A and B are shown apart, each in its own frame.
Chain A
Amino acid sequence: MSSKALKVLLPALTGALLLALWYAAHFFLISEERRFLLPPPGAVWHAFIKDAPLLLHAAWNTAQGALLGFGLAVVISFGFALLLSLSPLVRASLYPFLTAVQLTPLPILAPICVIWVGAGLASVAVLTFAIAFFPLVVNTTQGLISVDRNLLELFQLYRASRWQQLFLLRVPAALPYFFTGLRIAATLAPIGAVVADMNAGSSAGDGGGLGFQAVIYSSQLKIPALFATAALTCLLGFIFNAAILTLAWLALHHWHDSYERTDH
């Protein structure tokens, strides 16, 4: 069998096995009166179908918050990275404060954020920004300052201006680092958006996201619907990551070793 077919078949088999285990656990492992704690896949699916418009709308709201925060983080972190790449002194003065933002847990930032910009999309975006910003700024800065010495010397030899050195050398050389940061941020952003939504979401103007929905379901003890919400969150993260991986591949596969094709 070709390795390509195996790459599709094996995950499918694993998935089927997990579903079977799930059913088995539900019917054989758990006593009758506690079965509601682990709804079978079928029940989760029904819960999803029943609340589909609501859940999809919530997913869309979360996606918007995640995208907005993520996009802001990309743009602003790039500007910061340029600033930080200027000198070790700039880095020494700013890094502790950037780290402080990173180290403050989201549920604690959330109420402050709600007071500042109001609950709902704005807060979700700002909190997603806060969580995606740090890996982006650190990695991009690292890329901008770790350019091959020989290449810098080449540019110096040909009397490149500061701008030429930045845009023709440092920025392209930083791309692989930038994408490393982007991949970490893309994993954090949807999770961040959901957590932010649990803490700072709002149903005002139809704006509740998946986190907000999860809070409602849990207060109503709708366990199958909670599972459906979890599955949607997963899917969202998966789409987010796949999009970023595709982007990274498009930008880097021509020249960067981490995208070397190993199948020939």
Chain B
Amino acid sequence: MPASPYIEFRDVTKRFGDGPLVLDRVSFSAAPGEFITLIGPSGCGKSTLLRLLAGLSPVTSGTIAAGGRDPAAVATDLAFVFQEPTLLPWLSVAHNIEVPLQLRGVDAATRAASRQRVLELVRLQEKAGAFPRQLSGGQKMRVSIARALALAPRMMLLDEPFGALDEMTREHLNEELLAIHAQQQWTAFFVTHSVAEAVFLSNRIFILAANPGRIHAEVTVPLPGPRTADTRLARDYHELVAHVSRLLRSVDPEAA
């Protein structure tokens, strides 16, 4: 593992106003290119943790260090994929993908080149001119991912991006996402409710407990890459899924 972590939480605590503690002394560090998944009962602070990472909300106490870099520089290096596709309905797929670049003042020619590159990555070239309402749920999510990738981010934050999709589409998009990650090696923080998804995607899984939110356990996933549909048939994979499920059940009796 490289000497300097890409991002490091030290005793990060979060509460909103004078409400209850949402996150209690969370500490971890992530190396560049790691794929980390957060899983835990709902309301345990997973989304809040991502929002702290993105600088959308301030920490109450503790620090977020960015490997010696200015935290503001981290903010311009990251992309966020929300639970909803959050596309602008009045813009075509192509224009939607260019929005973050446009907001950064990138010129039109460069924007077009980036857009072309990411449309190929998510295999939606022929939908460039379509409007969001003409797309299926899975296609919208792929546009949302393409929009995030267009920034060539060094960190990707994904908050249950596939939660609303059917199982088949979700597995398919998991494979696609991993293939892109293998090429681009951004650091990923991925939130999900699906243990199978967590195991398939991650290098490490953080199992969070609620009230207050904290990291209850951490599981390293040593499955070799490239991971493909066949990975889901492997014995190691199933053992890991069972292991993580047990851990999750110990913090969340309602979890499957």
Check: A156 CB closer than 8 A to any chain B CB: yes
Considering only residues 81-106 of chain B, those with a C-beta below 8 Å from chain A are: 82, 84, 86, 88-91, 99-100, 102-104
Q: Are B84 and A150 touching (Cβ within 8 A)?
A: yes
Check: A232 CB closer than 8 A to any chain B CB: no
A150, A168, A254: the one within 8 Å of B86 (CB): A150
Stretch at the interface among A33-41, A91-99, A158-166, A211-219: A158-166
Main secondary structure of the interface of A (DSSP, over half): helix
Residues of B within 8 A of A260 (CB): 133
Chain A residue nearest in CB terms to B55: A157
Check: A153 CB closer than 8 A to any chain B CB: yes
Check: B56 CB closer than 8 A to any chain A CB: yes
Check: A116 CB closer than 8 A to any chain B CB: no
Q: How long is the Cα–Cα vector from A259 to B116 in the complex, in angstroms?
A: 30
In the complex, how many angstroms separate the beta carbon of B49 from the nearest chain A beta carbon? Answer: 15
Total residues of chain A contacting the partner, CB 8 A: 22
Q: Are A164 and B103 touching (Cβ within 8 A)?
A: yes
Q: How long is the Cα–Cα vector from A150 to B83 in the complex, in angstroms?
A: 9
Given A164-B103, A168-B102, A257-B133, check contact A157 B54 (CB 8 Å): yes
In the complex, how many angstroms separate the beta carbon of A19 from the nearest chain B beta carbon? Answer: 43
Residues of A within 8 A of B88 (CB): 151, 169, 172-173
Residues of A within 8 A of B56 (CB): 153, 156-157
Max chain A C-beta neighbours (<10 A), residue from B76, B90, B102, B133:
B90
Pair count A-B, CB < 8 A: 49
In the complex, how many angstroms separate the beta carbon of A200 from the nearest chain B beta carbon? Answer: 41
Q: Are B133 and A158 touching (Cβ within 8 A)?
A: no
Considering only residues 145-188 of chain A, those with a C-beta below 8 Å from chain B are: 148, 150-151, 153-160, 164, 168-169, 172-173, 175
Q: Are A255 and B103 touching (Cβ within 8 A)?
A: no
A154, A155, A255, A257: the one within 8 Å of B82 (CB): A154
Residues of B within 8 A of A148 (CB): 86
B82, B89, B103, B132: the one within 8 Å of A158 (CB): B103
Q: Are B84 and A255 touching (Cβ within 8 A)?
A: no
Residues of B within 8 A of A46 (CB): none
A157, A168, A173: the one within 8 Å of B80 (CB): A157
Q: Are A160 and B103 touching (Cβ within 8 A)?
A: yes
Given A157-B54, A157-B56, A159-B103, check contact A256 B89 (CB 8 Å): yes
Residues of B within 8 A of A255 (CB): 89-91, 131-133
In the complex, how many angstroms separate the beta carbon of B136 from the nearest chain A beta carbon? Answer: 16
Check: B179 CB closer than 8 A to any chain A CB: no
Max chain A C-beta neighbours (<10 A), residue from B75, B76, B88, B131:
B88
A155, A172, A175: the one within 8 Å of B103 (CB): A155
Residues of B within 8 A of A156 (CB): 56
Considering only residues 249-264 of chain A, those with a C-beta below 8 Å from chain B are: 254-257, 260
Given A158-B103, A159-B76, A255-B90, check contact A153 B133 (CB 8 Å): no
Q: Are B89 and A168 touching (Cβ within 8 A)?
A: no
Residues of A within 8 A of B103 (CB): 155, 158-160, 164, 168
Q: How long is the Cα–Cα vector from A225 to B126 in the complex, in angstroms?
A: 61
Chain B residue nearest in CB terms to A153: B56
Q: How long is the Cα–Cα vector from A254 to B102 in the complex, in angstroms?
A: 22
Q: Are B90 and A172 touching (Cβ within 8 A)?
A: yes
Residues of A within 8 A of B131 (CB): 254-255
Considering only residues 125-139 of chain B, those with a C-beta below 8 Å from chain A are: 131-133
Considering only residues 33-78 of chain B, those with a C-beta below 8 Å from chain A are: 54, 56, 75-76
Q: Are B90 and A175 touching (Cβ within 8 A)?
A: yes
Residues of B within 8 A of A257 (CB): 133
Q: How long is the Cα–Cα vector from A30 to B132 in the complex, in angstroms?
A: 61
Q: How long is the Cα–Cα vector from A159 to B88 in the complex, in angstroms?
A: 17
Q: How long is the Cα–Cα vector from A151 to B54 in the complex, in angstroms?
A: 15
| A-B residue pairs in contact (CB < 8 Å), sample of 7 | A157-B56, A157-B80, A158-B100, A168-B99, A168-B103, A254-B90, A255-B91
**Which 10 residue pairs across A and B have the least CB separation, nearest first?**
A150-B86, A158-B103, A255-B89, A255-B90, A158-B100, A160-B103, A172-B90, A255-B131, A154-B86, A157-B80
Other than A151-B88, A164-B103, give 12 A-B pairs with Cβ distance below 8 A: A148-B86, A150-B82, A153-B56, A153-B82, A153-B86, A158-B100, A158-B103, A158-B104, A159-B103, A159-B104, A168-B99, A255-B133
Residues of A within 8 A of B (CB): 148, 150-151, 153-160, 164, 168-169, 172-173, 175, 254-257, 260
